[in-house]
Structure 1
């Protein structure tokens, strides 16, 4: 009996300790998340808020913070889930909850529909204004509305000049406009403020690679690998930098570090093919470059070097076809830049331009983007025959019950247009 009583008392004590510890643990993780948010480290902050939620699962405030941080990290499904949970737990609708719903809609394609609801936060500045500016900047960049995106980015940077994310997105805007000098300057500034941002360092390395600063590129990738050993993007980037510096053996050594389960990725196949090509082994390079294009149809460099391999192997007919494909990819990429940096700005409601962008993305193998822009064209002009035809043909090619139903839908829409 005494043993049972002792066990019961011990259990009560443990329960009491656990009950007392839960709020302390929740507070600890909330503070960790807040600290990560000071440098806009959204994935890290999200992980901390999710830990806090384990100890306060019924907190509407923590659910709202999880939703907000998930949205800012680009995890929209998690954002929706926790915003809905916040609504269920909270009696009535708070201003922050309502604004968060609008920001989530803005970043998932409905920015024009919710803009008027967010306008008061632009007219009268307050604590939510930077969140609104961030969301609108990202939403309009996603729609290639460079004029509107720039107006919100500029104001966001003025309000928060040391905000790493604001500087990063301004650099991304410059990169979209093909202004690599200003983009590189912003990425450098962001890294000065937060040297731990591996995503920004990788982006910066890509930007300076375009200016052929290969020695500096290699050092940036080595920095990433010191911070994150085994980072596949950095390993492949360093291999490419070595290759451009004429260090073929060093490039081959880098590729050997890639785990076997990642060796079917297009980036690995591309670099492996280029190492063999630079080693004067076109017979080994050709299949690797061909497989690269099967995985990544938009890789213009892989297509060009594949063509050279085919010529070196005496396969002239195939080389001619590869050259035609290379010219089409190059043409598509030039047109994509023209559309997204000039014509969308000049013609913000032109359905044909959005349809053309959708077609380019489908040819590049970026099917989700292609479908998005074809639907965007139909939203502006529901009777756009060209968009319905492209969607019909795409879903017919994909096959499967779900795609067959979608193809039938667009086939019927075309029949109704006759």
Structure 2
């Protein structure tokens, strides 16, 4: 019976995982392997219990101390890990495991010379150690010798039990750095099977996936890594660039804002924020970034030009002129060849402010400096038209067309506007046909052609043109929304047309061009109900649509829109000319007579 009781006692001890009867020299190693296995299987409660027993019974064992130090290292507790290794070093200062673990920590801290010194010292004393290939592989990795890294770590993994997650990670990194992301990704995947919560491997795996073109999987891997290592601004910047490739600008901006908290003055980050803010038309953010860039480099003429162009998009024309003046000061001495573009852009701002004589003077100066400057001829044509000099305007458009190597749809659109105002609708339509032919993907060309077809009463043709307008990141989003709303209105779906216009306005409530284009849409709703659907001008719905158009137009001028001349001459708004409120908004009592 005593023998049977002793047998049960031994079995009970083994089941409990304490194993007090194992041989003293093998027990810690066996328990460490059991601890690793429990962690890999996700049995955290049992692993934690075994960890406590390891600390209690074998806390002074070098292998246990190194294992606990590595665990602390993986969770970012580097100082605690180094303290553990210092304690282990007092027990066995020459142990290769101690120096290798210390080298791993130094490597993570980017203290490469100290890490290499630790490994070289250890290898001088333990060249034949079973972990020598592991140590040499790590050393070659830090020295950038990728092939040697792969050879030594492969030899180590073949001789070991294949459970060394760090070795797989290092070999994967060598594969990755030598341009073989598929092999790298396989090693990282194996390392994550062994240690699923090791953040560093998620980062490297993200890079390997990106190198293979698996961008969606790479995004997920980056997100997993950053959830564990939120302070790694370099990885977050790489993550933002990847999101940019996938055209997810809102997420890009979110990540870049976090990077900026750590790198507030890094030019690369600021330029990426600027690019994305422009793309998403967050102009106030873009302006803030440009001003920060200018504070870092006030003598950069291109930054002042970018600021002027941005303020132009925001319809802050007077501020745009001031930024242009700073641009002119910088280029007059250092890059005088750019002066014609300065005068042309200044003329554009004058034109929108109604300062036509000043605009004309600037354009003449630009053309004196550069007689083949097509954009200046195009702008001067518009100024001539606004001054009532129609023949001079058409002549300048002809010259602009001849001086440009490429055909620009804006030239044909401008010529069509002038011809349309003269009542030459068929000739104007031919010009818009050329504009669409030249740039079939330019939405503005199609909406202009559709607008003329509306004027001519060709409803089906106009509908077909509107339905071909597509979303385009290069154009203002209100152009596509305007086209969708008009398509619904032409089909008599007023509820849908109203919803499209209001939803888009809700997305960009303070954007001047959005307000202007939606005002045009509401005005055309009223016009279509009368001209196409035979409603009376006194119809309550017609009156409601006109009131909505006028309210939007008034708000548009309040938030910065300044081009009153264009507003008066825009055919989309002709149905409002009989409303006294329209003339109050545009600031003139002079009635406009349709041709």
* Shorter-normalised TM range: 0.3 to 0.5
Query: Under a length normalisation based on structure 2, what TM-score does the superposition of the two structures give?
Result: 0.35
Higher CA-based Rg:
2
Ranked by relative contact order (alpha carbons within 8 Å, sequence separation 6 or more), the top structure is 1
